[in-house]
């Protein structure tokens, strides 16, 4: 069972991006909420770090898949960036709107600002280096 869980995680999470994103965004969210005291800021930061590791790790991997899904580069980059940004911002705001984050909007702002250029860069990089990514690696493009 643990081997199966690890295989699913390996296929669907970009661990390097997940660790970097969790550290960066967790630190920013701690700083944004620090005026409300260390316990509340730490709660918000830990929620952001856990969320970023799992959800954003998946979104980055999915972004790469979407970037390679269409034959033409411009629509493919637009699709990958828009879907990934929408998921990241929407889910981040929902998570911070739950009890425990004093400033949900300000805690979501870094994702909203860093997401679009970051996802565009990752999508462009995935188009440039068309190696296999996850379980959809062998799937046909939609407009072939």
* 90 domain-assigned: yes
Give the separation between CA 93 and CA 88, rounded to whole angstroms.
9
Averaged pLDDT, 2-20: 84
Identify whether 51 is part of a domain: yes
Q: Is the pLDDT of residue 43 over 80?
A: yes
Q: Residue 116 sits in which domain range? A: 2-128
- Residue 5 CB neighbour total at 10 angstroms: 9
Domain count, the chain: 1
Mean pLDDT over each residue of the chain, to the nearest integer: 85
> Which H helix or E strand runs over 110?
helix 104-128
Q: Indicate the helix (H) or strand (E) that contains 88.
A: helix 73-97
Task: Give dist(CA 98, CA 100) in Å, integer.
Answer: 6
Please report whether residue 144 resides in a domain.
no
């Amino acid at each position: 069972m643990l081997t199966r869980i690890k295989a699913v995680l390996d296929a669907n999470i970009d661990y390097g991006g997940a660790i970097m994103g969790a550290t960066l965004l967790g630190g920013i969210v701690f700083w944004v909420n620090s005026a409300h005291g260390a316990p509340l800021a730490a709660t918000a930061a830990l929620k952001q770090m856990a969320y970023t590791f799992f959800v954003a790790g998946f979104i980055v991997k999915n972004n790469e898949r979407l970037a390679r899904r269409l034959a033409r580069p411009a629509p493919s980059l637009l699709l990958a960036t828009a879907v990934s940004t929408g998921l990241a911002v929407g889910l981040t705001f929902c998570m911070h709107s739950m009890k425990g984050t004093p400033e949900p909007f300000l805690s979501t702002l870094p994702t909203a600002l860093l997401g679009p250029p970051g996802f565009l860069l990752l999508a462009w990089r995935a188009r440039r280096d068309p190696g296999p990514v996850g379980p959809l690696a062998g799937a046909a493009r939609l407009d072939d």
